Amino acid sequence: RRVSAPQPRGNVQQIPAYVPGRPPSPREDLVVYKLSSNENPYPPLPGVVAAAHAAVEEMNRYPDMGSAALYAELAARLDVPVGDLAAATGSVALIYQLLAAYCEPGDEVVHAWRSFEAYPIAITTAAARGVRVPLTAEARHDLDAMAAAITDRTRVVLLCTPNNPTGPALTQGEVDAFLAKVPARVLVVLDEAYLEFVRLDPSRGQALDAIGTYRRHDNVVVFRTFSKAYGLAGFRVGYAVAHAEVAAALRAVSLPFGVSAVAQAAAIASLEAQPELLERVDGIVAERERLVAGLAEVGWHVPDAQGNFVWFDLGEKAAAFAAAADAAGVVVRPFAGEGCRVTVGEPEANARLLEVAAAFSRD
Ligand code: PMP
């Protein structure tokens, strides 16, 4: 009946699909685990659930569009001005908003590859041009090559630390040296979605102080999220810390009322429960270290894992490994022809994954 619909802009057809982590199919014989979306395996805290429920009672009302209570809480904790904050529906929305605010069609956005799969999606959506700089052999950002890739058309550089899906985090020294080479007109994003899982030594000058770095550089933008360490992936809330003009631009292009009242309430309650939530993070990090050590014992070395996930460099065997994990009731995230990303999950899930890895033939 329908002959032809109006056509979207040309670049819309080129937007790569976001492939979400597959949920496990239930099985009769064993409990199945989802290690495919870098989620927090712990259930929400009762206090956070109660705060969310209270907000549900007012669902006939729009949320506070200015997220005032959340901004006040974040500003106090981070010791930054409220005007330097921008909340959004997950930090993934911040990527879209930054590009919408700063990129004309054809402008360039430099990022590492392999990195977070939403980057090329957001870049294509903005009709910008992605410039992908391959990771080093250790699966780290090649910051020299990224600095060299900057041209007159470059508006934004996206740095993912720790890098999803490979794991290594940038050090303060690396970021300082990089920023010294980047013109002040180029925005540099520090995407710290997995910040809380990083265990680099601050006393040896390794751990990145992103907030301190934004204070010294007007072109640095820090992205953070409540989805990972804080366990609120389902509610969609993240925030940026940036120079007041950049934060204002991010807020200006946001969807009105995007961050729901439930998300705002849960985020505030999570900040109040920070000590307990960070203890859980310690537990996840301990499991990560156990997994990495167990893998080393069976001769399997992974890149420096600083997030809540581990990267298996498998090349063409990625699909076979994912299938073997599946058979053991563990759903991982394969990247065809490259490798598998495995989220650190429940101890039982991690133990099963170790067994799969020990038995898997990589030849
Ligand atoms: N940045 C990175 C590097 C991520 O891995 C993710 C989630 N997979 C995000 C941002 C987005 O998280 P959210 O939108 O849930 O805040």
Tell me which of 251, 272, 293 is where a domain ends. Answer: 272
Cβ–ligand 1 distance for 92 under 6 Å, the answer yes
Burial of 315 per CB tally in 10 Å (0-12, 13-18, 19+): exposed
The pTM of the whole model exceeds 0.95: yes
What's the farthest any 2 CA atoms get from each other in the chain? 68
**CATH at residue 291:** 3.90.1150.10
Res 2 pLDDT > 80: no
CA distance 96 to 177: 27
> pLDDT digits over 235-292, tens only?
999 999 999 999 999 999 999 999 999 999 999 999 999 999 999 999 999 999 999 9
- What domain range includes position 323? 20-38+275-359
Q: Does 9 map to a domain?
A: no
On whether residue 5 sits in a domain, the answer given is no
Domain boundary among 272, 303, 325: 272
Nearest atom within ligand 1 for CA of residue 163: 3
Instruction: Indicate whether 239 and 290 sit together in one domain.
Output: no
> Which residue among 35, 224, 227 is best mutated to probe the pocket of ligand 1, counting the most ligand atoms within 8 A of its Cβ?
227
Same domain, 301 and 283: yes
Phi/psi at 310 (5° precision):
-130, 140
Q: How far does the centroid of ligand 1 lie from the alpha carbon of residue 145, in Å? A: 24
What is the rounded CA–CA span in Å between residue 164 and residue 157? Answer: 16
What's the pLDDT tens digit per position in 58-114? Answer: 999 999 999 999 999 999 999 999 999 999 999 999 999 999 999 999 999 999 999
236 and 280 share a domain?
no
For tokens 């991982």, name the residue.
Answer: 332
Give the pLDDT band (50/70/90) at residue 20.
confident
Instruction: Report whether residue 51 contacts ligand 1, using a CB cutoff of 6 Å.
Output: no
CATH of the domain at 155: 3.40.640.10
Phi, psi values for residue 357, rounded to 5°: -65, -40
Q: Which pLDDT value is given to residue 3?
A: 81
In terms of domains, do 226 and 119 share one?
A: yes
Tokens of 182: 């980047």
Atom 11 of ligand 1, residue of closest alpha carbon: 92
Answer whether residue 7 is part of any domain.
no
Ligand 1 pocket member 90 (CB < 6 A):
yes
